[in-house]
Structure 1
Amino acid sequence: MSQNSTRSLLAAALSLPLLSAQAEAPPENGTLAFKYLDYQDSQPGANRVRVTAPEVSLMTPVGSAWSLSANHIVDSITGASPAYHTEALTRLHDQRRATDVSVTHYTDLTTATIGASYSAEADYVSRGLSLAGTLSTEDKNTTWNAGINILRDTIDPSNQLVSNERKRVTDMSLGWTQVLSTHDLAQLLLGVSRGQGYYSDPYKIFDQRPRTRNHETLLLRWNHHLEASGGTSRLSYRYYQDSFAIRAHTLTAEYVQPLAGGWTLTPQVRLYSQSAAEFYVEHDSNFDPFPTNPPASAAYYTEEQRLAAFGARTLGLTVSRKLGLWSVDLRAQHYEQRSNWAWSASGSRNLAPFRARILQFALTRQF
């Protein structure tokens, strides 16, 4: 399921989290947004996966203390994915349709949100339920938030290597947001995920993964407003560890600069590094041009590039303009990963450099 790996990369590359200093007030206006994403990745000598994804989202107030949100996206994925390491590209084509809805209730100091999600592609169906809430202090300088998301997935690969496999994942989060000064806002988020079921990739050679995957994350954010320029810096650090023995670090820096005429520029830099899964099979040139055999006694093994040790860099720029009730955003990002960019561990051997370019257009109207 290389499609899901690509979508995980997209989710990370396109995320632009916002900090909230207090429990949100009920929205006075609704918004209707259309987004279009175009993604293309490549390695030397070959274009790999391309994704196009139109998306429509709606948020509307309901009464004086409620809001309703809905989102629908269609991912079309075509191209080729490595069967092992970065060699032997295999063709793929798929389409995913995903919908999620949520309802939020507001009081002076709290919010409570309940949501549901559903996505389906040819070989993968996911259903989810979520519950989240925030609580602010009386002075609204401190906000606590907590959430839980439960996913139930069904896997039916077209090659019929397995049939009607299942995966169950429960994600939990706890966060704290604090106003430090008139110019500074900080946030701490802790996340825990517990998953059981089918984690192997039936389309990859030599891929047998544990049926349990747990992970923990720590996320720190700091927003600082620069009075002289009117801009805001957004800095964040994320640490990730899982039961596959992957340890990952992400540093992100953004700068939001308002300009005359309703324009806003937001440059972005993201640095990433991870260690390899403990059952990742390193490339052995003695097996070229064939996949490297895992150890005979190995219970688990994979040659999936995204479970290798590597580092990555993302450079991005978002240009936005607000015109009355309308706003337009255009985002461009360049992502590149290499094995020798890993920070704390030697990179996996002989992985081809991997690049991706990401373009996204968004049009939003208030009503």
Structure 2
Amino acid sequence: MIAKTNEKRPQEASSNSRALNALTSAALAIPGMAITAVSNNAHADAPPINTEVGYRYSHYQEEDLPQSDVASGSTQRYDIDVHQFRVLTPVGENYAVDATFDYETMSGASPYGTVSDADGNPLLVMSGASIEDTRMDLNVKTTRFYESGTASVIGGYSTEDDYEAFNVGFEGTVDVNDKMTTLMGGIGYSDDTITPTQAPGFNRVTNESKYTAATFIGVAQVINAQSVFQTSLNYGYSDGYLSDPYKLVDQRPNTRSSIAWNNRYRYYLGDLDAAVHADYRLYMDDWDMVSHTMAFEWHQNVDPNLRVVPSIRYYSQSQVDFYTPIDMPAQPGDKSSDYRLSPFGAVTFGLSAIAHSYNWKVIVSAERYVADGDLALGTVEKEHPGLLQYTLVTLGFDYSF
């Protein structure tokens, strides 16, 4: 039997539980007063007038590993295809329902752990290249619109061969100061169960669970006719089985607390018919990890029906306090050589184009991600050989009626 892994997508280790992504996205958005490259006017939240359906296809391809970094197993990494369907529709005069469904298939190989080479540097122990899995994820958000704010209920379910998650969340916004200021907040809860695939020669757990609770508060402020700023605080707490059952050596604490400070700034340049988006995120947790994320986008209107968006994102994180570059089975206490818990930096370059005409919108985007120890803000003595490089291409459309 081919062993499986739960390392199925490119996530920095400081990201929230996947079942709480909707709540996290809400904290990072600027509700009700977004300034885009299409308009230099702030606008209040209002229920949609039309129904909108959308589809996205994404192909994610990790770069293969150099043979010199692998002690055993495949040098191939993941190849993932994602189909996303979305429906946003008004219900009556004051309600809207926003539903998304993801269908994801993946194949490839994953790191089991690390061993030492003759010079004391880590080499990867990889799985075979025939890991295959399918994931389905459904999230539904129902929003009630008021004259001075919104209230939303979020529910979701995710399933794959060895993982099942349920989540629920509540969030809301209140407009004050003549709708120049928006206060926001939310709470969320996720209940996850993992039933790892068993394989000969491995002593894996058979059934484990964890729960994650998250909350956020924030404020968005219209500065003037050209600019908006938002800041928010997120707190997350996880309890239960937080280790990776597919690693050869992996023992983590059974709780994790985190806090993130998110900041977003939007500025419209009327003379250029463009907008600048600048984001910064500081993350800290009680596993002793600290990360910084900075992102910049330039939204340029080429003509009334076409917008081009180049972007760059920088990320850097420190290691958790129980990280070891090389697996040490005899070491007592918590320990892990997971590359997602190692120190590293990463840069993502992106380019998107959005074309629209009448009721149609077409989206094309591409990203290139490179992680490296030399890109970290601090000194990395031994770079993990499992750090990712990947390409992500997305095609999609929206139709309103």
Please give the range of the TM-score, normalised by the shorter of the 2 chains: over 0.9
Which residue matches 1:288? none
Cα 1:263/1:201, change in 2 over 3 Å: same
1:300-319 to 2 correspondences below 5 Å: 300-319=334-353
CA contact (8 A) 2:339 2:386 kept: no
Cα 1:3/1:164, change in 2 over 3 Å: closer
| Partner AA of 1:307 in structure 2 | L
1:90 to 123, 127, 132: 127
CA contact (8 A) 1:340 1:347 kept: no
Which residue matches 1:180? 223
1:50-89 to 2 correspondences below 5 Å: 50-85=79-114, 87-89=124-126
3-state SS of 2:265 partner: strand
Which residue matches 2:359? 325
CA contact (8 A) 1:23 1:143 kept: no
Moved more, 14-23 or 42-51: 14-23
Which residue matches 1:28? 49
Which residue matches 2:210? 167
Quick one: distance in 2 between partners of 1:306 and 1:2? 14
| Partner AA of 1:361 in structure 2 | L
Which residue matches 1:351? 385
Matched, 1:158 2:158: no
3-state SS of 1:340 partner: helix
1:1-367 to 2 correspondences below 5 Å: 2-4=5-7, 6=9, 8=11, 18-20=29-31, 21=33, 23-45=44-66, 46-85=75-114, 87-91=124-128, 92-159=131-198, 161-283=204-326, 292-294=327-329, 296-346=330-380, 348-351=382-385, 354-367=388-401
| Partner AA of 1:303 in structure 2 | S
| Partner AA of 2:296 in structure 1 | A
3-state SS of 2:251 partner: coil
Overall identity of the aligned pairs, in %: 27
TM-superposed deviation, 1:245: 1.1
TM-score by length of 1: 0.92
Structure 2 unmatched runs, 5+? 34-42, 67-74, 115-122
| Partner AA of 2:391 in structure 1 | R
Quick one: distance in 2 between partners of 1:54 and 1:173? 29
Quick one: distance in 2 between partners of 1:153 and 1:353? 26
TM-score by length of 2: 0.84
Structure 1 unmatched runs, 5+? 284-291
3-state SS of 1:253 partner: strand
Highest relative contact order (Cα 8 Å, sep 6+), 1 or 2? 2
| Partner AA of 2:267 in structure 1 | H
CA contact (8 A) 1:195 1:212 kept: yes
TM-superposed deviation, 1:110: 1.3
| Partner AA of 1:128 in structure 2 | N
Deviations 1:4-62 (Å, cap 9, x if unpaired)? 452536999x9896523265111111110011110011243333011101010101000
Which residue matches 1:286? none
CA contact (8 A) 1:166 1:198 kept: yes
Quick one: distance in 2 between partners of 1:179 and 1:48? 45
* CA-based RMSD: 2.2
Cα 1:70/1:110, change in 2 over 3 Å: same
TM-superposed deviation, 1:277: 1.0
Quick one: distance in 1 between partners of 2:379 and 2:146? 48
Quick one: distance in 1 between partners of 2:140 and 2:260? 25
Count, aligned residues: 357
